[in-house]
């Protein structure tokens, strides 16, 4: 079955529950689900029930698609995302983006968040970083295979993967809210292991400020379909090769939870001002 038919079937199911056309699609990263509480919810759908959505494994209780209102705008939000390291294909990881987009439910703006390791020596745990650009080191790409020209071009331009306007707006919003923000380059790796010291040195050397295991596939598919993308990372651990300390996923999640209110505040106000 081709991709557009799959999108249409997923949309048909969602449309049985709501006629709302969201303006903004939101993907919430690990430990960063707090924004969900702020959404005035119209419908909450389990991923498992949506045709062609990947079947989730461990995080099944988190897999929910939420449609409602936030900052005065209609939004669709993913509580829980699919990671490449879980064994999904890049096409599966990014299918929900297609469904939320104007090829599906209608969103033309995509806001993505993640928990990331900070490699820029100026960064500290708990910092909020606006993603300015990215490097794809996942060794795969969601656009590999036959291209559907109705969804987007074969060779999408990547000169502005993250909307300059949204970066400027996010910075302005953060300033007005008196929330300090960093700006930087995000590199996506496969995971699931964290990086070695030598790898951090390498990733810093090629120009990255933060590292994580998500976001880039969703960005690429968003760009493919002409969405405006804004990405934000919460720095959950300090990945400085010369002073590297062990980290656990519990620590990463705790740091994300702690810094999450900053992300929620900026995101909500950003949406209000779109």
For ligand HPA, the closer of residues 239 and 259 by Cβ is 239
Q: Is residue 123 classed exposed, middle or buried when 0-12, 13-18 and 19+ CB atoms within 10 A define those classes?
A: buried
Binders of ligand HPA among residues 103 to 162 (CB under 6 A) are: 115-117
Q: Which of 118, 115, 112 is nearest to 217 (CA)?
A: 112
Q: Which of 66, 97, 213, 265 touches ligand HPA by CB under 6 A?
A: 213
Paired tokens of 119: 């490699």
For ligand HPA, the closer of residues 116 and 143 by Cβ is 116
Per the CB < 8 A criterion, the answer to whether 77 and 26 are in contact is yes
Using CA atoms in the order 16, 22, 25, 26, what is the torsion angle rounded to 10 degrees?
Answer: -90
In the complex, the smallest distance separating the C-beta of residue 114 from ligand HPA, rounded to whole angstroms, is 7
3 state DSSP class of 256: helix
Paired tokens of 81: 């995302």
* 79 interacts with ligand HPA by CB under 6 A: no
Where does this chain touch ligand HPA (CB under 6 A) — which range of 6-14, 188-196, 224-232, 261-269? 188-196
In the complex, the smallest distance separating the C-beta of residue 255 from ligand HPA, rounded to whole angstroms, is 8
In the complex, the smallest distance separating the C-beta of residue 191 from ligand HPA, rounded to whole angstroms, is 6
DSSP H helical segments within 45-163, as ranges?
Answer: 90-100
Q: Which of 79, 94, 236, 267 touches ligand HPA by CB under 6 A?
A: 236
Distance CA 110, CA 4 (A): 19
* 191 interacts with ligand HPA by CB under 6 A: yes
Q: Which of 133, 209, 237, 260 touches ligand HPA by CB under 6 A?
A: 237
Distance CA 249, CA 42 (A): 32
In the complex, the smallest distance separating the C-beta of residue 81 from ligand HPA, rounded to whole angstroms, is 13
- Binding positions for ligand HPA, rule: CB under 6 A: 115-117, 189, 191, 194-195, 211-213, 236-237, 239, 252
């Amino acid at each position: 079955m081709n991709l557009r038919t799959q999108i249409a079937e997923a949309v048909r199911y969602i449309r049985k529950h709501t006629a709302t056309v969201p303006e903004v699609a939101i993907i919430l990263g690990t430990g960063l689900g707090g924004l969900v509480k702020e959404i005035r919810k119209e419908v909450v759908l389990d991923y498992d029930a949506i045709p062609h959505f990947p079947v989730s494994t461990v995080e099944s209780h988190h897999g929910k698609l939420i449609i409602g209102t936030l900052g005065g705008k209609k939004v669709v939000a993913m509580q829980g995302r699919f990671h490449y390291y879980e064994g999904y294909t890049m096409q599966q990881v990014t299918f929900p983006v297609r469904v939320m987009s104007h090829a599906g439910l209608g969103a033309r703006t995509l806001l993505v968040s993640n928990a990331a390791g900070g490699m820029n020596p100026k960064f500290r745990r708990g910092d909020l970083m606006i993603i300015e650009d990215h490097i794809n080191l996942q060794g795969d790409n969601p656009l590999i295979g036959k291209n559907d020209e109705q969804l987007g071009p074969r060779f999408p331009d990547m000169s502005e993967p993250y909307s300059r306007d949204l970066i400027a707006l996010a910075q302005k919003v953060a300033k007005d809210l008196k929330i300090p923000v960093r700006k930087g380059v995000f590199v996506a790796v496969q995971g699931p292991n964290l990086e070695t010291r030598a790898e951090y040195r390498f990733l810093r050397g090629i120009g990255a400020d933060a590292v994580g295991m998500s976001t880039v596939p969703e960005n690429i598919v968003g760009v493919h379909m002409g969405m405006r993308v804004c990405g934000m990372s919460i720095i959950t651990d300090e990945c400085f090769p010369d002073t590297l300390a062990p980290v656990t996923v519990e620590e990463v999640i705790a740091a994300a939870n702690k810094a999450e209110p900053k992300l929620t505040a900026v995101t909500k106000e950003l949406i209000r001002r779109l």
